[in-house]
Amino acid sequence: MSYIVDASVAVKWVVPEVLSDQAERLLTTDAELLAPELLLTEVANALWAKTRRRELTVRESSRALALLMESGLVLRPSAPLLARALDIAHRLNHPVYDCIYLALAEREHAILVSADRRLLECAARGSIRARVLDLRALKS
């Protein structure tokens, strides 16, 4: 089995947050964990924002990014997903950067795991082929 994880999940692997226990549980499964390369940019931006809000130091932010890079997450190129992501974005009226995760889930026949309620709600009501799972549904 394969799971696609988005930035809302990956950031919880490297910074203690609500649902970090559930996110870390994914790391202990035998499932292959995949993400588009875009995830690195999104997580780095989240870490920068946490540093700006003084929730993390610059050193902690850098260490968190290094931990993510060492997590074993398999990254897939984002560019080949853009055309399908744009189509999904138009259909769901949702930003392309989130729809890249849905496009990857479709292509890999995998389940997208996310803590992003808006993305989960859009995917659930849209007519797309990607399967999604709310991180909250994973027991800690």
Q: Tell me how many domains the chain contains.
A: 1
Predicted confidence band at 130 (pLDDT cuts at 50, 70, 90)? confident
Q: What is the CATH number of the domain that holds 133?
A: 3.40.50.1010
Predicted confidence band at 140 (pLDDT cuts at 50, 70, 90)? low
Q: What pLDDT does residue 127 have?
A: 76
Measure the CA–CA gap between 29 and 50, rounded to whole angstroms: 28
Give residue 18's domain range: 2-137
Token pair belonging to 120? 């989960």
Measure the CA–CA gap between 54 and 135, rounded to whole angstroms: 26
- SS3 assignment for 20-45: HHHHHHHHCCCCEEEEECHHHHHHHH
Q: What is the mean pLDDT of the chain?
A: 95
* pLDDT tens figures, 73-122: 999 999 999 999 999 999 999 999 999 999 999 999 999 999 999 999 99
CB atoms within 10 A of CB 63: 14
Q: What pLDDT does residue 129 have?
A: 76
Structure pTM?
0.94
Q: Is the pLDDT of residue 41 over 80?
A: yes
